[in-house]
Structure 1
Amino acid sequence: MPKIVDHEERRRAIIRATWQVIARQGIANTTTREIAKEANYSSGVLAHYFKDKADIMASAMRAAHLEVLERVSGTKLTGLAALREYLLECLPLDKRRRLLATIEASFWGQAVGDKRLIEINGRELDALRGRIRDRLAEASQLGELKPDIDIEQAIREFHVLIDGLSVQATLYKGSASRDEQIRMLDRVIERIAADPR
């Protein structure tokens, strides 16, 4: 009787292997051959599930984003508290989240000059900004924001904070510590929060 293949599990295994190879060797040295070896599959198996290395990288990046969403999916928080919880998950605060930041930064390097990957990245960033916008809109309805806050400008600030800290954590030994990152985030939130009554 032929063995039943779980195709989704194979895809997940290849993505996990991609994360491990990037973390160990960096994007420049991450080849489909190395990914296949890490996953204990042949290069032919990878070709069955992904078009090329760029397709693997895009899937790895989406999987990193999905992990963040899964961690906050059961939250009972609302408004600014929910926004803070979500953004903390996006920051490279620990080893796992630094790995996710490395995956993200590696994808950006792969995407430069590739229109298809730039479009994929754009859709992912639009989704990130949409989630921040939804939480800010809820905070506004709850009276948690200063009345003159420009929500789109606040979204840009949060986005820059996430990306900047992620790149630094990936490329710079002197990057901000966990406590420094949290303080930076809290300062941006404090600037837009309504004065306590």
Structure 2
Amino acid sequence: MPKIVDHAVRRRQIAEAVHRLIDAKGIEAVSLREVAAEAGFSMGLVQHYFTTKDEMLLLAMEHLHHRISDRVAEVTGTPRAILRAALLELLPLDEGRRTLSRIGFAYLARSVVAEPLARVLRDGLPYVLGFYAGVLRDAQARGEVPAALDADRAARGLYGLALGLVHPALVGPYSAEETEAIVDQHLDLLFTGQGATTATASTSTS
């Protein structure tokens, strides 16, 4: 019988090889030939799925987003616990997440000159912000966050907070403990109601 090929598995293996190369040598080191060697595949097999480097990077970046989304989706608990886990998943607090952050920075830099990658980042942002806002509205319904809070504006603030913490947590000077403490402090403001004043004031002046 002919061998049954699981193409989804092959693509995942290629994406993981791309990420190993990015983490070890940088995104400029990624090529069809280098990825084939890293994955243990023939050049012809990789070319069966991709014809350009950017096609391969696009798949690998989408694979990275799915990994993070899947991990966040597994979190259960209170709205605050879910938001906390979602934010911490984006931060380089252990070696696994430091690797993901290094890869993420490489994609961000490449997206400045590669429109397909930039489009994926743009298209994915509303889903992230919608998730944060939805959790905040759930907290409002439970009486854990003041009804005066603008959930959409607060969601943008949470996303900006996470992005702003990645670099100082990755290269210094923030330790993992300090980074977590900043996230907890911000969530405390939202969930004790003190953050609602700022959000309302921002809405009235915009």
Which category of TM-score, normalised to the shorter sequence, fits these structures?
0.7 to 0.9
| Structure 2 partner of 1:71 | 71
Q: Does 1:131 align with 2:131?
A: yes
**Residue 101 (structure 1) aligns with:** 101
Instruction: Give the CA RMSD over aligned residues.
Output: 2.1
Matches within 5 A, 1:24-35: 24-35=24-35
Q: CA deviation at 1:11?
A: 0.6
Residues in 2 aligned to 1:153 and 1:59: alpha-carbon distance in whole angstroms: 31
Equivalent pair of 1:143/1:194 in contact (CA under 8 Å): no
1:13 & 1:195 partners in 2: Cα distance? 46
Q: Secondary structure at the match of 1:159?
A: helix
The structural deviation recorded for 1:157 is: 2.0
Aligned CA distance change for structure 1 residues 25 and 183 (closer, same or farther; 3 Å): same
Q: How many residues align?
A: 194
Report if aligned partners of 2:21, 2:30 keep a CA contact under 8 Å in 1: yes
Among candidates 177, 181, 184, match of residue 182 of structure 2: 184
Structure 2 alignment gaps of length 5 or more: 195-206
Contact 2:61/2:107 (8 A) holds in 1 = yes
Higher mean alpha-carbon deviation, 184-193 vs 24-33, is at 24-33
Q: Which residue of 1 aligns with 2:88?
A: 88
Which stretch of the first structure deviates more once superposed, 49-58 or 137-146? 49-58
Specify the alignment match of 1:11 in structure 2. Answer: 11
Whose relative contact order is higher, 1 or 2, with alpha carbons under 8 Å and at least 6 apart? 1
TM score, norm. by length of structure 1? 0.87
Q: Specify the SS of the correspondent of 1:193.
A: helix
Q: Which has the larger radius of gyration?
A: 2
Q: TM-score, length-normalised on structure 2?
A: 0.84
- The correspondence of residues 139-154 of structure 1 with structure 2, limited to 5 A, is 139-154=139-154
Alignment partner, residue 204 of structure 2: none
With over 3 angstroms needed to count, the CA separation of the structure-2 counterparts of 1:51 and 1:160, relative to structure 1, is farther
Mark the runs of 5 or more structure 1 residues left unpaired by the alignment. none
8 Å contact kept, 2:169–2:179: no
- Amino acid paired to 1:192: L
Query: 1:176 & 1:43 partners in 2: Cα distance?
Result: 42
Q: What is the DSSP-based 3-state SS (H/G/I as helix, E as strand, rest coil) of the residue aligned with 2:75?
A: coil
Offset at residue 78 of structure 1 (A): 2.9
Indicate how the Cα distance of structure 1 residues 51 and 154 shifts in structure 2: closer, same or farther if over 3 A, else same: farther
Q: Is the deviation greater in 68-77 or in 80-89?
A: 68-77
Q: Is the 8 A contact 1:102 1:166 kept in 2?
A: no
Pick closer, same or farther for the CA change 1:17–1:131 going to 2, 3 Å.
same
